[in-house]
Amino acid sequence: MMQDYKYMLDAYAKAGGSPEAFKNSKVAHLVIHQNRVIGKHLVEGLDLKPKETASGIDIHLIVRKGAIIKYPVHLCFGVLPKEGIQEINIRARVEDDSGVKLLAHCVFPNAVRVVHKMNADIEVGNNSYYEYNEVHFHGFEGGVEVIPKAKIRVGNNSRLVTNFSLLKGRVGYFDLDYESEILDNSSLEMTVKIYGYSDDRIKIKEVGRLIGESSRGLIKSRVVVKDNAQSEIINELVASAKNARGHVDCIEVIQGNAKARAIPIVNVTHELAKVTHEAAIGRVSKKQIETLMARGLEEEKAVDLVVSGMLK
Amino acid sequence: MELLRVEKLSLNLEGRQILKDLSLSVKSGTIHSILGPNAAGKSSLAYVLIGCCDYNPQSGKIYFLGKDITGYPTQKRAKIGMTLAWQEPARFEGLTVKDYISVGIKENKPGLVEESLYRVLLEPKDYLDREVDKTLSGGERKRIELAAVFAMRPRLVILDEPDSGIDILALDNIVNMIKELRSQGTTVLLITHREEVSEIADKTSLMCSGFIVEEGTPEEVGKYFKEKCIPCPTHFYPAEKDKEKIKEKK
């Protein structure tokens, strides 16, 4: 167990996480290896009940009314062996007048045949915020299937932020499906950044429903695919309330024989609502590359700089 | 000493002749302006000089410090000391101003990025960590481009319309910065359609319809530009006129 904990934190550090956070008593954390809880620490105002199941963990997370969790809650999910399955079911409730930021690192450093599924059901109350940042670190075999699904409801005067990034190691197969509903004066911001190569397959579907008056939504995707990788992105924003405003922003860069598809869907059903969108697929802009080359960078380094900036 | 020599450069793009046997000589340590109306081919000349991939001349030669660089790729030209500040500089999502300016810096001089921002009237603490993306205004982006050139300290910089998009209050400052480039040893090829900007040059070449029609001091060429070029209908619709016809108008 202790050894697994150490290996998990090593992988966590490689994924860009800061293992020191797990020693800080002010920072809540949860470390899960496959279907075992190997580390847990709570802070006041936060209830976090993990329950081990045959193939993963069920997590019940509650941020109590009026509680603002000062430091991001650190989550580390992983599968260290070459093969395995991990199913994480999260039920999260952020009660009224409260807020929490979560920083989740999902690490599969040795994966040859690993499946990681996440099903999240999240409810954010009134005058509250919920920010979920998820960073993945996969090995270089491409043998990971990542299938995250989330349904999120956000109350009035609240804020939802989700950031997903998978930039280290092979993607493997990735199929994200997030759906959210936003009430009055609340905002939604969902961002996905992924770098796929070899024969990686990427599917992203993000839907935001701006059903509350003066609600706001931004869905943003940045995907780079090269070699024979393929990506398909569906970003949908629905605005059905007075003064609802939204924007869909999708950029995919392709290199080599990669294929990319973007489907922005904008659905407005109220005359005082407005949603805009922009989508671009193509190689890195020639002008960007030539600008950097005119400063002395080799073409390949210039492309890398543009791409790494976009995915930062 | 001659830094840049262009000999009979011709460029055709999509069946249209953009540069026609254009020749030019730029002396080291000077500001040399290329003055001309819109669509004269000034920016195309800049792209050919820096080696942009869609701007390969059909004929002619480019010499830099006596060496034929016509076949050099852009980065090789940059490495020997040439650069270009674009008229409408590219935007870079996720790349900070600090990182962007640092790309071209060769010398290890602390504070050079900050100093270059001061030169273009941008407060470093407000800009260093900002991204060179669409959140910058056109004028801010332009000034950052000039700051990047200043920090790079090239032997030759081609400034393509450095005054466009710059507000009137900052224009004097930009002009001073161009002069400062010269005083630090950088030769400036200043492309502009405004003769009042061209006035800061040591020498001016007037460009029309793809070739140089007049050369001299900024005053001489500026006078010619005002008297002959501005009333000329080809100012708006440069036609496929040959050099002799334009010379006749003189």
In a domain, A311, yes or no: no
Does an H or E element contain A152, and which? strand A144-154
In a domain, A194, yes or no: yes
Residue A165: the pLDDT is: 94
Residue A9: the pLDDT is: 84
Contact B90 A285 (CB under 8 A): yes
Q: Tell me which residue range forms the domain holding A205.
A: 2-285
Residue from the list A222, A251, A291 with its beta carbon closest to the beta carbon of B90: A291
The whole-angstrom distance between A233's CA and the closest CA on chain B is 20
The whole-angstrom distance between B32's CA and the closest CA on chain A is 20
Residue A250: the pLDDT is: 93
Residue B63 has pLDDT above 90, yes or no: yes
Q: Name every residue whose Cβ is closer than 8 Å to that of residue B221 and which is 6 or more positions away in sequence.
A: B35, B195, B198, B204, B205, B206, B214, B215
Question: What band does B233 get if pLDDT is binned at 50, 70 and 90?
Answer: low
The whole-angstrom distance between B172's CA and the closest CA on chain A is 26
By a Cβ cutoff of 8 Å, what residues of chain A touch chain B?
Answer: 222, 251, 285-288, 290-299, 302, 305-306, 308-312
The whole-angstrom distance between B66's CA and the closest CA on chain A is 20
Residue B239: the pLDDT is: 44
CA nearest to A288, candidates B162, B80, B100:
B100
Residues of B in contact with A290 (CB under 8 A): 50, 52-53, 74
The share of chain B scoring above pLDDT 70, in percent, equals 93
Residue from the list B75, B82, B99 with its beta carbon closest to the beta carbon of A298: B75
Contact B103 A287 (CB under 8 A): no
Residue B139: the pLDDT is: 87
Q: What is the mean pLDDT of chain B?
A: 90
SS3 B170: helix
Q: What is the DSSP string of B205-246?
A: EEEETTEEEEEE-HHHHHHHIIIIITT-GGGTS--S--HHHH
Residues of B in contact with A251 (CB under 8 A): 93
**pLDDT string in tens for chain A (312-residue length):** 678 888 888 888 887 888 888 889 999 999 999 999 999 999 999 999 999 999 999 999 999 999 999 999 999 999 999 999 999 999 999 999 999 999 999 999 899 999 999 999 999 999 999 999 999 999 888 899 999 999 999 999 999 999 999 998 999 999 999 999 999 999 999 999 999 999 999 999 999 999 999 999 999 999 999 999 999 999 999 999 999 999 999 999 999 999 999 999 999 999 999 999 998 898 899 999 999 999 999 999 999 999 999 998
Phi then psi dihedrals of residue A34, to 5 deg = 50, -110
Crossing angle of helices B138-152/B112-119, nearest 10°? Answer: 130
Residue B243: the pLDDT is: 52
Q: Using H for helix, E for strand and C for coil, what is the string for A247-299?
A: EEEEEEEECCCCEEEEEEEEEECCCCCEEEEEEEEECCCHHHHHHHHCCCCCH
What part of B 127-156 touches A (C-beta under 8 Å)?
Answer: 131, 148, 152
Number of domains in chain A: 1
Does an H or E element contain A127, and which? none
Residue B248: the pLDDT is: 61
Note every long-range contact of B134-143, with CB atoms under 8 Å and residues 24 or more positions apart, other chains counting. Answer: B134/B91, B134/B93, B136/B91, B138/B88, B138/B165, B139/B165, B139/B166, B139/B167, B139/B170, B141/B89, B141/B91, B142/B89, B142/B166, B143/B170, B143/B174
Mean of pLDDT values over B93-105:
96
The whole-angstrom distance between A83's CA and the closest CA on chain B is 36
CA end-to-end span of chain A, whole Å?
34
Residue A239: the pLDDT is: 98
- Residue A104 to residue A231: CA distance in whole angstroms: 24
Contact A293 B73 (CB under 8 A): yes
In a domain, A312, yes or no: no
Residue B246: the pLDDT is: 54
In a domain, A75, yes or no: yes
Residues of B in contact with A312 (CB under 8 A): 94
Mean of pLDDT values over B220-240:
70
Domains of chain B (ranges; CATH) run: 2-249 (3.40.50.300)
Residue A128: the pLDDT is: 98
In a domain, A290, yes or no: no
Residue B229 has pLDDT above 80, yes or no: no
B183-218 per-position pLDDT tens digit: 989 999 999 998 889 999 999 999 998 989 999 999
Contact A310 B94 (CB under 8 A): yes
Residue B240: the pLDDT is: 46
Start-end of H helices in chain A: 2-14, 286-293, 299-311
- Residue A62 to residue A220: CA distance in whole angstroms: 28
Mean of pLDDT values over B166-189:
88
Mean of pLDDT values over B48-72:
96
Q: Which two tokens stand for residue B132?
A: 């060179």
